[in-house]
Structure 1
Amino acid sequence: MPQRPTAASGPSRADGWIFARMRRSRPVSRRNERSRREPCAGFSLPETLVAALLFAVSLVGLLQYHQVLQQSLLHQMQQRQAWRLAHQQLETEGADSVSSSSRSVPAGWRVSREEQRHPPACRRVTVTVVTPYRYRAVLGRWFCDTPDAVVQRDSP
C-alpha cells in the first residue's frame, strides 16, 4: 500500500504528479477575524437615525425661513407698487383734472380718491391705495388753478 504524504515528509510524487499539503496562513473569513481584533468602522443605526432627524429638522427650519423671506419680499414689492400707483394717480389728476379711474389696478387692490375744494380755486386730492395685504398708501396733493390762489390762501 502506498504511503500518503504528510506535512513532515514534504511533497511526494505519484504517477508524475506532485502533491503537497497546503497550509492556510489566513482564516477563510477576514470579516470575522477583523471584528474580533478591532471595532467596526462606520455608523450604527441609532446614530444614522439621529443624523437623519437633525438633517430633516434643519431642512424644515431653512424652508420656513425661506418662506418668511419670500413673504416679506412680496410685502415690500406691494408697498412700493402701492406708492407708485398712488403717485401715478396724482400725476394724471394734475394733467387731466379728471379722475383717472380707468388706469388698470391689479386684482384685489383698492384705489380711492377724495377731493376737497378750498376756495379760491384750489382743491386737495388724496389718493389711497390698499394692497391685498391691507397696506395703505395715502398720498395727497394741492391743485390750484392760478398761482395767486396759493398766496391768497396762505395770507391771513
Structure 2
Amino acid sequence: MLLPVFQRRLQDVSLALSLCHQRLELLRQPTAPGALSQPLGWRISVIEISCDAACRRVTAMVTLPTGERVSLNEWVCQNPADITGT
C-alpha cells in the first residue's frame, strides 16, 4: 500500500522539476510563449534577486496542492567571463 504513495510522490516531484526547468528555459528565450500548462492546483513562480549590476539569481518554484515546494536556481549574468568561482 505504501508503494503507490511513493510512486505518486516521485511522479509529482519529477513533474515539478520538469516545470521548473521549462520555466527557466522560457526566461532565456524571450520570444517563446510564456505560459506553461500545469496540473490543477499547482503554482509556478519565479523569483529574481540581483546580486550586482551584471548578475542575478533566478529561482523557479513549483508549489504542489499539498504545499510542498520544488525549486531550481540559476545564475544569469550579462558577461559570464567576469564571474569568478567561489
Aligned to 2:71: 138
RMSD value over aligned CA atoms? 2.4
Alignment match, 1:109: 42
User: 1:122, 1:149 within 8 Å by CA — same for their partners in 2?
Assistant: no
Q: Does 1:148 align with 2:54?
A: no
Is the CA contact 1:94–1:143 (under 8 Å) kept in the aligned structure 2?
no
Any residues of structure 2 matched to 1:5-154 within 5 Å, and which? 65=1, 68-96=2-30, 100=34, 102-151=35-84
Which structure has the larger Rg over C-alpha atoms? 1
**Cα distance between partner residues in 1 of 2:45 and 2:12:** 17
Corresponding residue pairs, total: 85
* Structure 2 residues without counterparts, runs of 5 or longer: none
Displacement, 1:82? 0.6
User: Higher relative contact order at CA 8 Å, sep ≥6: structure 1 or structure 2?
Assistant: 2
Secondary structure (helix, strand or coil) at the match of 2:13 reads helix
Q: Aligned pair in 2 of structure 1 residues 138, 89: CA closer, same or farther (>3 Å)?
A: same
Specify every segment of 5 or more residues in structure 1 that has no aligned partner in the other structure, as ranges: 1-64
Identity of aligned residues (%): 32
Alpha-carbon distance between aligned partners in 1 of 2:53 and 2:82, rounded to the nearest angstrom: 6
Cα distance between partner residues in 2 of 1:94 and 1:74? 31
Which structure shows the bigger proportion of residues in helix conformation? 1
